[in-house]
Amino acid sequence: MTEKELQRSKSVLPIGTVMRLTELSARQIRYYEEQGLVIPTRTEGNRRLYSLNDIDRLLEIKDYLTEGINMAGIKEIYDQQRKRAAERKEETLTDNDVRQVLHDEFLNISGMERTSGTSLHSQKPLE
């Protein structure tokens, strides 16, 4: 399965293609990059190149946004995800594990509503 992952990690899509695939504006895509949500590679001409994984990422971000989660929340999600990944490095990181984490974090942030500038640490009780 490593072959597949490698291919999915190959950045070959220009932003125009990504725009159509994700239905996001170039503005948004670049902004998400600024936020460190996606890290496209660059061509010699400084053009952004996205991978299939990036598309997935963007689609996921779009989803979270629709769910009413703000940028801070999304950042937290990926931050915690890579944190988990770092911990259980050689550990069995199966797809189920990822889904588990995703589901877990999703429920977690769902409780913080769409307040702005609110971190996961200072959750407010929703009534």
Closer residue to DNA (CB): 65 or 85: 65
Closer residue to DNA (CB): 17 or 100: 17
Give the shortest CB-90-to-DNA separation in angstroms.
Answer: 36
Closer residue to DNA (CB): 25 or 110: 25
Give the shortest CB-56-to-DNA separation in angstroms.
Answer: 17
Give the shortest CB-69-to-DNA separation in angstroms.
Answer: 12
Q: How many CA atoms lie within 13 A of 80 on its CB side?
A: 19
What residues make contact with DNA under the rule CB under 7 A?
14-17, 19, 25-28, 30-31, 45-48, 65
C-alpha–C-alpha distance, residues 26 and 12, integer Å: 16
C-alpha–C-alpha distance, residues 17 and 20, integer Å: 5
Give the shortest CB-8-to-DNA separation in angstroms.
Answer: 20
C-alpha–C-alpha distance, residues 119 and 85, integer Å: 21
Contact 32, 38 (CB under 8 A): yes
